[in-house]
């Protein structure tokens, strides 16, 4: 069955620190997709990135980077030089191409960036 | 273009009453999802519509919950005989493609409070 674990419930950092949010997944499928979403205090979830299981290249987008490692079933998200506006709940999600019928979201990690 | 819209934004109802929540997906998106998010919790999948196919209702928590999608566009989530444990934010999302590989775009949610 699909499962997504985000072991860090809450993280607090001081502005300009780097922070990594962990995501570990379980799947029996060989083709699957991983996602990160941001939910700021306003409440609306915002899509950040999608990665398919055949593409293990790390991705960088500005201060954001993602490290996908199939060997450890992890898809970690790093924010470099964090800013107060990064404060939000971050969700990792998984969908399976062949077995799953829907998305499975992790429980989320609440990130607080303090000035 | 316009994003996913949901109405009402807030709904307070008495225990035992029925409520209807509405979702207008992004034009052209064929897939539509409903989720429930309890206070401080992750996203709980409720139901998934894809085009004209039979919906995936596997996440509906009880037979008091039902959903329709008319004309492949607008969707209504109905909760009958509401209970206090139904209090949550109900999120709707839509996506472009017919596969779970596509990212979802979320609406602002309807906050339901059952008194």
B99 pLDDT higher than 70: no
CB contact under 8 A, A45 and B48: no
CB contacts of B108 in chain A (<8 Å) are 42-44
In this prediction, residue B54 carries a pLDDT of: 83
Q: Which residue has the higher pLDDT, A99 or A18?
A: A18
pLDDT at B2 > cutoff 90: no
Q: What Å distances lie between residue B107 and A44, A91, B92, B104, CA to CA?
A: 6, 16, 6, 10
Contact (Cβ atoms closer than 8 angstroms) between residue A67 and residue A26: no
- Structure confidence at residue B1 (pLDDT): 58
Q: Over chain A, what is the mean pLDDT?
A: 92
More confident residue, A25 or B72: A25
Question: B106 pLDDT exceeds 70?
Answer: yes
Q: Binning pLDDT at 50, 70 and 90, where does residue B39 land?
A: confident
- Residue A97 CB partners (closer than 8 Å, separation 6+): A29, A31, A32, A33, B99, B100, B101
| Cβ <8 Å between B58 and A102 | yes
- In this complex, the residue of B59, B101, B106 whose CB is nearest that of residue A97 is B101
Cα R_g (chain A), whole angstroms? 14
Name the least confident of A14-18, A55-59, B75-79.
A55-59
- pLDDT at res. B52: 80
Neighbours of A111 (CB within 10 A): 21
Interface check A91 vs B, CB under 8 A: yes
pLDDT in tens, A59-111: 888 999 999 999 999 999 999 999 999 999 999 999 887 765 667 899 999 99
Mean pLDDT score, A24-31: 91
pLDDT over threshold 70, residue A22:
yes
């Amino acid at each position: 069955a699909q499962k997504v674990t985000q072991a860090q419930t809450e993280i607090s950092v001081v502005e300009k620190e780097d922070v990594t949010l962990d995501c570990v997944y379980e799947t029996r499928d060989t083709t699957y997709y991983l996602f990160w979403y941001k939910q700021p205090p306003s409440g609306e979830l915002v899509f950040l990135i999608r990665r398919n299981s055949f593409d293990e290249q790390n991705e960088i987008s500005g201060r954001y980077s993602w490290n996908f490692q199939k060997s450890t079933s992890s898809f970690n998200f790093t924010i470099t030089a964090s800013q107060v506006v990064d404060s939000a709940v971050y969700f990792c999600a998984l969908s399976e191409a062949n077995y799953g019928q829907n998305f499975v979201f992790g429980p989320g990690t609440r990130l607080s960036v303090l000035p | 273009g316009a994003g996913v819209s949901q109405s009402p934004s807030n709904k307070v109802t008495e225990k035992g009453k029925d409520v209807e929540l509405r979702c207008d997906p992004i034009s052209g998106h064929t897939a539509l999802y409903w989720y429930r998010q309890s206070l401080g919790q992750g996203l709980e999948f409720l139901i998934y519509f894809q085009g004209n196919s039979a919906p995936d209702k596997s996440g509906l928590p009880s037979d008091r919950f039902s959903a329709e999608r008319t004309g492949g566009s607008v969707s209504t989530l109905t909760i009958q005989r509401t209970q206090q444990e139904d209090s949550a934010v109900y999120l709707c999302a839509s996506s472009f493609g017919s596969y779970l590989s596509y990212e979802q775009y979320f609406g602002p949610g309807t906050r339901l409070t059952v008194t």
